[in-house]
Each structure stands twice: as structure tokens, then as C-alpha cells.
Structure 1
Amino acid sequence: MENATAAPIAVALYQPDIPANLGATARMCACFGLPLHVIEPAGFPWSHKALKRAGMDYLDHVRIIRHDSWQAFLKAMGDRRLILASTRAAFPHHAFFYAPGDILLFGRECCGVPQEVHDAAHARVRIPLRPGLRSLNVAMSAGIIAAEALRQLSAFPEESR
């Protein structure tokens, strides 16, 4: 399990409502050595079999930090930058300059995040898509943006081969 303070960045999911996406995001965080913050309430019980199926045995290798509410999450994060992934953002994710300590924040699959979360973000980024298409799966989006941030920070984990 990775130490959350040693990780170059962190990932946060705001009130996730699809257990398989939380599991897949947790798996990605385990592979990259990133902590995963989950802002409650989740739209499913933590014992849901889809969460365990998607996370597989990787759930034992990721630090998942659960926060009871948005306010509790903000308090715990202090002055770290929140970078919100949003289809409403004007700035493409690959043109943004990530910094150590950034928290990559992703909204609910059904409806994103409320305005107060948008307002609290230090920056908003989007993944460019073809015209007429709305969005990617939240777990896929988290992987794409996390990989770009790690690339910029030269912070990919060492391979163990």
C-alpha cells in the first residue's frame, strides 16, 4: 500500500454511483501508486460485488480514504490544488501544468458535480473529444488525466520487471 503523502498526486471521486467504476479507478490508483479519496455518500454499498469484481485483488494495494462529505474532504485536503475534470471546462487536460500534490477530482457518472464543487476547484480540465460526443467513462477519464499528470511530473512508478 502506498503512503498518500509520498504520492506525487492523488485521485478523488465525488459521490460515485457506479461500483464498477470505483473498482476500476481503485485498480488504476493501485497500479500507479496513487491514493484514492472517495467523497461520500456513494450510490451503492461498499460490499457491492461489482466493486470487488472490477477492483479484483488490487483493492489490497491501494490506499482508499473515505470522506463523509464534501466539507470533510475539503478540510482534510487543506491548501492542495483541486483539479476538476469537467465536460464544461475550456482547458484541455494535456495543456494544463500539473504540480506535485495536486488532487485530480472526478464527478458522479450521472450528473458530474454541483456548482459549489466547480467553484472550489482551482482549475478545470477536459479531455478533448470528437464533436457530438459527450464524455468518457469516469474511470477511463481518471486514468487518462492521471497518466498525463504523472508524465509531466516524471513520476511514473518504477517497473518491477
Structure 2
Amino acid sequence: MSVLNIVLIEPQIPQNTGNIARTCAATGARLHLVGPLGFEITDAKLKRAGLDYWRLLDITTYESTPEFFSRNPRGEFYYFTTKARRTYTDIAYPDDAYLVFGREDAGLPEELLRANPDRCVRLPMIAGARSLNLSNTVAVAAYETLRQWGFPALQNHGKLTKYDWDAVPL
């Protein structure tokens, strides 16, 4: 089964990471937190943003970027950055893809981007906009990848609480 990996390198804002954790929990994506972090995992703001989804989360932490790459040597990495020349929809994401995101205030290191130009992607924005919120960017990227994969293992229909959908004409 395909597994989506969301990688946050040095995240600084606990609320963003909490929101991303909730997205990962709801989609079955694995969350990789690469330090140093700008907060403690026990931070109340982080836990509040993730609500009661922590029990559904597959999370791994790393002390540093070199440790992350050494523990995941076979990954297919895609680097999300405002500096990329390609858009995120230009990519056909493979099974077990790693979507990598940088710090909210600085993004990913340019050395990493320069070494992987064909794996750098961006979300289009109007001129003059610096960037989208990190948690929004992760959600867009995750759902595009999952859409390409046909939303494996995700529930693709909802249920009304007071009515039966089958009784409602389309």
C-alpha cells in the first residue's frame, strides 16, 4: 500500500505543526519532524491544534537533517519551495513519496534546493505574495498526491446524521 511521508525540517510554529499533524492523521500520512524544533512536542499549542487526532498519527522525530536523510536513504524526495521553477502539479508522485517542507521563516536550505533542481516544486501565487501558510501548503500537496493515487484507504463518501443520502435525488 502507498504511504505518503510529510517531512517538516526545523518547524518553528507549534500551531502549524499541530494542524499538519491533524492533516497527516486524517489522511494516513506519516509525519517526520526534523530538528531542531522551535517548540517542544509537549507544547499545549501543538496538541490543541492537533485536537484528538494524535492517537491516529504515525510520527518520527530526528535530531537533525543529516540524521533524517541517513535514516531514509531510499526516499523519493520532493522539496516544496517558493524558489522552484516547476509547480507541484507537474510531478507524478511515486508510492512512498516524501514531501519535504522547510521552516516557516526561512524555507529549505538553498544548498539542498540547488542539489535537487528537478525535485523542487512550488504552489503558484500572485507576484508579491511571499508564501502560503505552511499548514495550508502541506494540505494542498498531500491531497494532490493522494488524488493522483486514487485516495487509497481513504473514505470517499460522507454520511448525513439525520437523513439517508440514498433517499435524496441527485
TM-score, with length taken from structure 1: 0.90
Superposition pairs for residues 2-151 of structure 1, below 5 Å? 6-119=1-114, 121=116, 123-151=119-147
Q: Which runs of 5+ in 1 are unaligned?
A: 1-5
Deviations 1:5-63 (A, max 9, x none): x5432100001000001100000000000100000110112221110110111111111
> Quick one: structure 1 residues 120 and 38, their matched pair in 2 at CA, closer, same or farther if it must change by over 3 Å?
farther
Measured in 2, the distance between the counterparts of 1:81 and 1:120 equals 14
> Quick one: structure 1 residues 120 and 100, their matched pair in 2 at CA, closer, same or farther if it must change by over 3 Å?
farther
Aligned residue type for 1:76: R
Measured in 2, the distance between the counterparts of 1:147 and 1:156 equals 11
Measured in 2, the distance between the counterparts of 1:116 and 1:104 equals 17
**Per the alignment, in what secondary structure is the counterpart of residue 39 of structure 2?**
coil
Deviations 1:59-86 (A, max 9, x none): 1111110011111100111121110100
Count of residue pairs brought into register by the alignment: 156
Q: 2:148 aligns with which of 125, 147, 152?
A: 152
Q: Which runs of 5+ in 2 are unaligned?
A: 159-170
1:3 is matched with none
Q: What percentage of aligned pairs have identical amino acids?
A: 33
TM-score, with length taken from structure 2: 0.86
| Root mean square deviation, CA, Å | 1.6
Deviations 1:77-132 (A, max 9, x none): 11211101000001011121111111000100011122333245460110011222
Q: Which of 121-130 and 132-141 deviates more?
A: 121-130
Aligned residue type for 2:12: D
